């Protein structure tokens, strides 16, 4: 068989295998068939990290509505007032939420403009405050904790339209939308449009799992090139909360350290709609009936990389406590097999992956494999030992591992070191998969994890889990950072891209 014929045959096999790969590595941006047609309820990303400037609190950020074009007026992108947006925290490792926050939104549309004329406008003058009468479609929301309403009519900021409509956006509008519930020791909350903090080369990855810097190694080779941020310049809708740890831990105390049995918290976000939807003759929509979960997200890239297409909508409907049914897909990930087909010149990636189960479904206690501390396994046993090892897709974060002011905690480095975008893979134990920070490059992390294991820190304790294969341990999409700088204080997510002036698809670093 000729080299070209072999490439065509391999590509044909890859195309068949890639039927569940077309949503891979785009976080949860349009990851399942049903939710791709329901952007208002579509979870895109979840972040959870010990706040670097307030280390006795946990910050959780959940995003919805992928790929918001900043110039998408006149309606822009309000939260859907028919959706119940949810953030869940599991503090005992049973895969069920113990502290549950829900957010319901309401638009307050003004039918006429300043002259009393029926209007299509979003604003009829500059918006310089959250109560500015020039804003014709403001939106507020209520916050619920375990079913009890704890805040009402909190304001969201408007879209970042442009210098005439929303001058000095962050100072006038973004910061003003941060509110505290319950006094100085209460819950900080923000809900509104923000820059999409995810960064990934979707254009290349959707083209048969291409990684531009490694194009020559692909079964259909191309010249090596710089990565292109496919979500750069787009916005998303964010809900961010910053919660004192005592309000989240099972014993309502601050963790004494990383091995405190109450230190690990499991986090995920979800969205639900009522079961019945009626399209009325006047164009309005009425909903009723029981709430049904239509989307969820804990660890990034699970529904894309791990769960096959025929199970994706079903996975979205399930509670994490039922995730043991998906164990087989973690143990034998299709992505590892695809890497071996699409990149035949690279060393084979292992396809029998019990390490993925331990790190992503149960959490990992490094002491179980000869290490010194618990990374993110919930060890809070109270009778049933199974509750301590419940398989559940949760973004687990050990709140007893404290970051330095820069947000890092590099293993073995005094003072914590410098944050690494590769998190635990480069010994930064405050990064993914121990929670997830905004700076964590989860695309590169997950590609390297599937191709070569969880890096020197975890693998050194695990034993010869996988060899330290080169270049498997350097794989990536060539996009290593977000296109906009993050804020240094809550809600940390960057200011949303402006409709009047913005750019898409920033290039990654120059190839070495």
Query: What is the distance, to the nearest Å, from the Cα of residue 258 to the centroid of all Cα atoms in its chain?
Result: 24
List 468's β-bridge partners, or say none: none
CA-to-CA distance for 319 and 29, rounded, in angstroms? 20
Write out pLDDT tens, residues 463-507.
544 456 778 888 999 999 999 999 999 999 999 999 999 999 888
* 14 domain residue, yes or no: yes
Contacts of 369 (CB under 8 A, 6+ apart): 461, 462, 463
* 405 domain residue, yes or no: yes
Q: Is the peptide bond before 433 cis (omega within 30 degrees of 0)?
A: yes
- What stretches of 2-134 show up as alpha helix (H) in DSSP? 3-17
Closest to 108 (Cα-Cα) out of 132, 86, 87: 132
Closest to 499 (Cα-Cα) out of 38, 81, 127: 127
* E-only strand ranges, 378-418: 395-398
- Radius of gyration, CA atoms only, the chain: 23
- How many domains would you assign to the chain? 1
Domain range enclosing 210: 3-474
Q: Which residue has the tokens 């025929």?
A: 310
Give the model's pLDDT for residue 30: 55
The first and second tokens of residue 57, run together, are 């609190």
DSSP 458: H
Give the model's pLDDT for residue 116: 80
Give the model's pLDDT for residue 108: 92
Angle between helices 334-342 and 442-452 (to 10 degrees): 80
* 491 domain residue, yes or no: no
Give the model's pLDDT for residue 29: 61
CA-to-CA distance for 292 and 84, rounded, in angstroms? 10
* 481 domain residue, yes or no: no
Query: What is the distance, to the nearest Å, from the Cα of residue 202 to the centroid of all Cα atoms in its chain?
Result: 16
Query: Are 212 and 226 in contact, with CB atoms under 8 Å apart?
Result: yes
Give the model's pLDDT for residue 512: 66
3-state DSSP assignment of residue 334: helix
Instruction: List, run by run, the mean pLDDT of 10-residue segments along the chain (512 residues).
Output: 36 32 46 73 95 97 95 94 97 94 95 80 95 95 97 98 97 97 88 97 91 95 96 97 97 95 96 94 93 94 86 93 92 85 87 80 82 82 54 96 92 83 91 96 90 69 57 90 96 97 90 74
3-state DSSP assignment of residue 266: strand
* 512 domain residue, yes or no: no
* 74 domain residue, yes or no: yes
Query: Are 46 and 297 in contact, with CB atoms under 8 Å apart?
Result: yes
The first and second tokens of residue 284, run together, are 């309005």
CA-to-CA distance for 112 and 134, rounded, in angstroms? 11
Query: Are 78 and 430 in contact, with CB atoms under 8 Å apart?
Result: no
CA-to-CA distance for 324 and 306, rounded, in angstroms? 13
* 451 domain residue, yes or no: yes
DSSP 438: T
Write out pLDDT tens, residues 14-44.
333 333 333 344 454 655 567 778 889 999 9
Give the model's pLDDT for residue 461: 57
Closest to 127 (Cα-Cα) out of 114, 143, 112, 115: 114
| 385: number of Cβ within 10 Å | 8
List 235's β-bridge partners, or say none: 68, 195
* 486 domain residue, yes or no: no
């Amino acid at each position: 068989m000729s080299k070209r014929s072999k490439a065509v045959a391999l590509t044909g096999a890859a195309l068949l295998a890639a039927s569940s790969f077309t949503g891979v590595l785009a976080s949860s941006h349009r990851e399942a068939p049903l939710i791709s047609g329901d952007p208002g309820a579509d979870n895109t990303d979840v972040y959870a990290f010990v706040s670097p400037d307030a280390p006795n609190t946990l910050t959780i950020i959940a995003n919805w509505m992928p790929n918001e074009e900043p110039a998408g007026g006149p309606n822009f992108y309000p939260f859907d007032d028919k959706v119940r947006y949810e953030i869940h925290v599991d503090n005992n490792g049973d895969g069920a939420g113990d502290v549950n926050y829900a957010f319901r939104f309401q638009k307050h549309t003004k039918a006429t403009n300043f002259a009393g004329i029926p209007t299509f406008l979003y604003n009829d003058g500059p918006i310089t405050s959250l109560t500015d009468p020039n804003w014709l479609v403001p939106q507020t929301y209520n916050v619920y904790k375990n079913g009890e309403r704890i805040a009402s009519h909190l304001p969201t900021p408007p879209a970042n339209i442009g210098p005439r409509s929303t001058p000095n956006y962050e100072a006038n509008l973004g910061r003003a939308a941060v509110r505290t519930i319950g006094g100085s020791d209460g819950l900080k909350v923000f809900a509104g449009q923000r820059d999409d903090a995810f960064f990934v080369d979707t254009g290349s990855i959707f083209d048969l799992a291409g990684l531009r810097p490694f194009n020559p190694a692909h079964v259909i080779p191309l010249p090596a090139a710089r990565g292109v941020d496919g979500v750069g310049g787009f916005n998303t809708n964010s809900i961010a909360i910053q919660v004192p740890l005592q309000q989240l831990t099972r014993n309502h105390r601050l963790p004494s350290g990383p091995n405190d049995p109450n230190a690990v918290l499991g986090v995920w976000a979800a969205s639900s709609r009522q079961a019945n939807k009626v399209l009325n003759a006047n164009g309005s929509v009425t909903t009723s009936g029981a709430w049904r979960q239509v989307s969820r997200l804990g660890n990034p890239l699970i529904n894309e990389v791990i769960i096959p297409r025929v199970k994706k909508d079903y996975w979205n409907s399930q509670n994490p406590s039922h995730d043991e049914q998906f164990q087989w897909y973690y143990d034998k990930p299709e992505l590892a097999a695809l890497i071996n087909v699409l990149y035949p010149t690279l060393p084979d990636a292992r396809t029998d992956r019990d390490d993925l189960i331990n790190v992503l479904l149960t959490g990992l206690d490094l002491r179980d494999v000869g290490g010194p501390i618990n990374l993110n396994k919930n060890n809070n046993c109270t009778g049933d030992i199974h509750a301590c090892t419940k398989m559940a897709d949760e973004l687990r974060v050990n709140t007893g591992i404290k970051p330095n002011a820069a947000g890092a905690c590099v293993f073995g480095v005094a003072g914590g070191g410098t944050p690494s975008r590769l998190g635990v893979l480069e010994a930064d134990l405050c990064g993914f998969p121990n929670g997830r920070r905004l700076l964590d490059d989860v695309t590169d992390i997950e590609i390297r994890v599937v191709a070569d294991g969880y890096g020197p820190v975890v693998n050194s304790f695990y034993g010869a889990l996988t060899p330290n294969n080169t270049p498997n341990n350097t794989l990536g999409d060539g996009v290593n950072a977000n296109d906009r700088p993050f804020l240094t204080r809550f809600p940390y997510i960057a200011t949303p891209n402006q409709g009047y002036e913005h750019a898409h698809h920033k290039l990654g670093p120059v190839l070495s």
